[in-house]
Chains A and B, each alone.
Chain A
Amino acid sequence: MHVEIDEPGRKVLLMGNEAIARGAIEAGVDFCSGYPGNPASEILETLAGVAKKLDFLTEWSVNEIVALEAAGAAACAGLRAMTVMKNMGVDVCSDFLMTVNMSGTKGGFVLISGDDPAVHSSNSELDTRNYARFADIPLLEPATTQEAKDMTKWAFDLSEELGVLCMVRTVTRLSHSSGLVSLGPITREERSAEFAPLLGTWTSGSGDYTCMFHDALHGKLKTAQEKFEESQFNWYTGKEDAEFIIITSGTGWLYSAEAVKLLGLKDEVGILKLGTTWPLPEKLIAKHLKHAKEVLFVEEIDPFLEQNVKVLAAELAADIGPIKFYGKKSNHIRSEFGAGVGELDVDTVMRGLTETMNVTYIPRDQDYAEKAEKLVGSYAPNRSMAFCAGCPHRASFWAIKRALKWDGRDGIVTGDIGCYSMAQLPTGFMVLKSMHCMGAGIGTATRFGNLKRYGLDKPVIAVSGDSTFYHACIPALINARWNKSNLLYVILDNKTTAMTGNQPHPGIGIDALGEPSPVTPIEDVCKGIGVEVRKCDPFDIDEATQNLYEMLQTEGVKVIIFSRECALTEAQKRKKKPRVYVDQDKCIGDECGCMRFCTRVLNCPGNIWDYTKGKAKIDEVVCNGCGLCAKLCPAGAIIVEEVV
Chain B
Amino acid sequence: MQNIKGPDDLQRNVLDEELCTGCGACTNLCPYIDMVKANAIIIEPCGLSKGRCYNFCPRSYIDVPSLDKSIFGSYREDIAIGSNIYVMKARAKDEEIRSAAQYGGVVSALIIHALQTGKIDAAVLATSSDGVNPKPTIARSKKEVLECVGSKYIVSPTVSKVLDAIKGEMGKIGVVCTPCQMTAIRKMQDSPFETGEEKISLGIGLFCTWCFSPDTYEYIRSLVGSANILKTDIPPPPANIFVIQTDERRVEVPLDEIRKFIMPSCAVCFDMTNEFSDISVGTVEGEEDWNTVIVRTRNGERFLKSAKEAAIIETKPLEKEKFNHLCEASLNRKKRALKEIDGRKITYLTIRDEERSKIISWNGGI
Task: List residues of A whose CB falls within 8 A of some B CB.
Answer: 401-402, 405-406, 408, 429, 549, 592-595, 597, 600-601, 632, 634, 636
Q: Flag if B29 contacts A634 (CB, 8 Å).
A: yes
Q: Flag if A634 contacts B36 (CB, 8 Å).
A: no
Q: Flag if A405 contacts B31 (CB, 8 Å).
A: no
- A593's partner among B29, B41, B44 (CB-CB below 8 A) is B29
Encoded as 1 (CB less than 8 Å from any A CB) or 0, chain B from 43 to 67 comes to: 1101110111000000000000000
Q: How large is the interface on B (under 10, 10 to 19, 20 to 34, 35 or more residues)?
A: 10 to 19
Q: How far is the CA of A632 from the CA of B30 in the complex (A)?
A: 9
Given the interface pairs A406-B34, A592-B52, the reply to whether A401 lies near B43 with Cβ below 8 Å is yes
Q: Tell me which residues across on chain A come within 8 A of B41, comparing CB atoms.
A: 405-406, 408
- A592's partner among B34, B36, B44, B51 (CB-CB below 8 A) is B51
Q: Flag if A595 contacts B30 (CB, 8 Å).
A: yes
Q: Give me 25 A-to-B residue pairs in the complex whose CB atoms sit less than 8 angstroms apart, sorted by A's number.
A: A401-B44, A402-B34, A405-B41, A406-B34, A406-B36, A429-B44, A592-B29, A592-B30, A592-B46, A592-B48, A592-B52, A592-B193, A593-B29, A593-B52, A594-B31, A595-B32, A595-B47, A595-B48, A597-B30, A597-B32, A601-B31, A601-B44, A632-B31, A634-B31, A636-B167
Q: Tell me which residues across on chain B come within 8 A of A594, comparing CB atoms.
A: 30-31
Chain B residue at smallest Cβ distance from A592: B51
Besides A592-B29, A592-B193, A597-B31, 14 more A-B contacts (Cβ < 8 Å) are A401-B44, A402-B34, A402-B43, A405-B42, A406-B34, A408-B41, A592-B46, A592-B50, A592-B51, A593-B52, A595-B48, A600-B47, A634-B29, A636-B167
Q: Tell me which residues across on chain B come within 8 A of A401, comparing CB atoms.
A: 43-44
- A405's partner among B34, B50, B51, B167 (CB-CB below 8 A) is B34
B18 to chain A, nearest CB (A): 12
Q: Tell me which residues across on chain B come within 8 A of A634, comparing CB atoms.
A: 29-31
Chain B residue at smallest Cβ distance from A636: B167
Q: How far is the CA of A592 from the CA of B53 in the complex (A)?
A: 9
Q: How far is the CA of A402 from the CA of B30 in the complex (A)?
A: 14
A596 to chain B, nearest CB (A): 9
Q: Tell me which residues across on chain B come within 8 A of A402, comparing CB atoms.
A: 34, 43
Encoded as 1 (CB less than 8 Å from any A CB) or 0, chain B from 15 to 33 comes to: 0000000000000011110
The 5 closest A-B pairs by CB, nearest first: A595-B46, A406-B36, A592-B51, A593-B30, A405-B43
A567 to chain B, nearest CB (A): 21
Q: How far is the CA of A487 from the CA of B31 in the complex (A)?
A: 28
Chain B residue at smallest Cβ distance from A590: B48
Q: Tell me which residues across on chain B come within 8 A of A593, comparing CB atoms.
A: 29-30, 52
A470 to chain B, nearest CB (A): 33
Q: Tell me which residues across on chain A come within 8 A of B42, comparing CB atoms.
A: 405
Q: Tell me which residues across on chain A come within 8 A of B52, comparing CB atoms.
A: 592-593
Q: Tell me which residues across on chain B come within 8 A of A429, comparing CB atoms.
A: 44
Q: Tell me which residues across on chain A come within 8 A of B167, comparing CB atoms.
A: 636
Q: How far is the CA of A405 from the CA of B30 in the complex (A)?
A: 16
Q: How far is the CA of A600 from the CA of B31 in the complex (A)?
A: 12
Chain B residue at smallest Cβ distance from A600: B47
Q: How far is the CA of A566 from the CA of B356 in the complex (A)?
A: 63
Q: Tell me which residues across on chain A come within 8 A of B43, comparing CB atoms.
A: 401-402, 405
Q: Tell me which residues across on chain A come within 8 A of B44, comparing CB atoms.
A: 401, 429, 601
Chain A residue at smallest Cβ distance from B46: A595
Chain A residue at smallest Cβ distance from B55: A592
Q: How far is the CA of A636 from the CA of B44 in the complex (A)?
A: 20
Q: How far is the CA of A408 from the CA of B34 in the complex (A)?
A: 12
B5 to chain A, nearest CB (A): 12
Q: How far is the CA of A408 from the CA of B47 in the complex (A)?
A: 21
Q: How far is the CA of A498 from the CA of B53 in the complex (A)?
A: 40
Q: How far is the CA of A406 from the CA of B33 in the complex (A)?
A: 10
Q: Tell me which residues across on chain A come within 8 A of B51, comparing CB atoms.
A: 592
Q: Tell me which residues across on chain A come within 8 A of B46, comparing CB atoms.
A: 592, 595, 597
B337 to chain A, nearest CB (A): 27
Q: Tell me which residues across on chain B come within 8 A of A595, comparing CB atoms.
A: 30, 32, 46-48
Q: How far is the CA of A592 from the CA of B34 in the complex (A)?
A: 16
Q: How far is the CA of A593 from the CA of B29 in the complex (A)?
A: 5
Q: How far is the CA of A594 from the CA of B50 in the complex (A)?
A: 13
Chain B residue at smallest Cβ distance from A632: B31
A560 to chain B, nearest CB (A): 18
Chain B residue at smallest Cβ distance from A595: B46
Residue of A592, A632, A636 with highest tally of chain B CB at under 10 A: A592
Q: Tell me which residues across on chain A come within 8 A of B36, comparing CB atoms.
A: 406, 549
Q: Tell me which residues across on chain A come within 8 A of B29, comparing CB atoms.
A: 592-593, 634
Q: How far is the CA of A549 from the CA of B50 in the complex (A)?
A: 30
Chain A residue at smallest Cβ distance from B28: A634
B234 to chain A, nearest CB (A): 29
Q: How far is the CA of A592 from the CA of B193 in the complex (A)?
A: 9
A428 to chain B, nearest CB (A): 13
Q: Tell me which residues across on chain B come within 8 A of A597, comparing CB atoms.
A: 30-32, 46
Q: Tell me which residues across on chain B come within 8 A of A601, comparing CB atoms.
A: 31, 44
Q: How far is the CA of A402 from the CA of B33 in the complex (A)?
A: 9
Chain B residue at smallest Cβ distance from A402: B43
Q: How far is the CA of A280 from the CA of B358 in the complex (A)?
A: 97
Q: How far is the CA of A592 from the CA of B167 in the complex (A)?
A: 16
Q: How far is the CA of A593 from the CA of B47 in the complex (A)?
A: 11
Q: How far is the CA of A284 from the CA of B113 in the complex (A)?
A: 104
A228 to chain B, nearest CB (A): 59
Chain A residue at smallest Cβ distance from B54: A592
B75 to chain A, nearest CB (A): 30
Q: Tell me which residues across on chain A come within 8 A of B32, comparing CB atoms.
A: 595, 597
Q: How far is the CA of A592 from the CA of B52 in the complex (A)?
A: 7
